[in-house]
A = this chain, B = another copy of it.
């Protein structure tokens, strides 16, 4: 679908603003008046061009018969939604379509920093950070983190070997990284990762990466 010209964009914006302000679309004459056209045919030409490009629909024979088409798309378009990421398929970026379980209608901008995806927490390893089993956490995608931040780490599950997301508190000292659960029960042990072998021997690579930092959570049951 081709793009709108500058002028056509202005006209489409005017239609939008009229809808907001008056509650109904403008007439050809309204548009002509707004842009200083002496004839409403100019407005009509623009409308037909914008309609041909698929941004609006003109309903023939109806006064003010202008229907915005891209708006619903915008509403449906994940603008105010976040993907819930489950398991990670091998070799895919984390927010790849295949990894998205579903989309939840939550404004990404509610979180600080902004959330880029969601992940449902399984287990009690972050209990003492007040993140519980079943909570859905918002993650701001970035591949690094500050010391002490809670990160979403991607690494293979110790048994199945499949990539999965886990939340851990991140500490780095030189080449040594510690991923620390927030649960003092002895079952939960910090994970130590030494980056040093990475430089020399690529076989010893710890398949670990930071998907993002914890930005908040939503708990959906009372």
Binding site for B on A (CB under 8 A): 19, 22-25, 27, 59, 62-68, 73, 80, 104-107, 110-113, 130, 132, 138, 140, 149-150, 213-222
List the 5 closest pairs (A to B, CB-CB), nearest first: A63-B63, A105-B107, A23-B67, A215-B222, A214-B222
Contact A112 B221 (CB under 8 A): yes
CB distance from A142 to the nearest CB of B (A): 11
Contact A110 B220 (CB under 8 A): yes
**Which of B23, B63, B140, B222 sits near A68, CB closer than 8 Å?**
B23
Do A222 and B140 form a contact, CB below 8 Å, given A22-B59, A23-B68?
yes
Contact B25 A23 (CB under 8 A): yes
CB distance from A60 to the nearest CB of B (A): 13
Show 8 A/B contacts (Cβ-Cβ < 8 Å), sorted by A. Answer: A23-B66, A23-B67, A80-B80, A80-B105, A106-B107, A130-B130, A149-B222, A214-B222
Chain B, residue nearest A59 (CB): B22
In the bound complex, how far is the Cα of B19 from the Cα of A22, in angstroms? 13
Contacts of A113 in B (CB 8 A): 222
Contacts of A149 in B (CB 8 A): 222
Contacts of A104 in B (CB 8 A): 107, 110
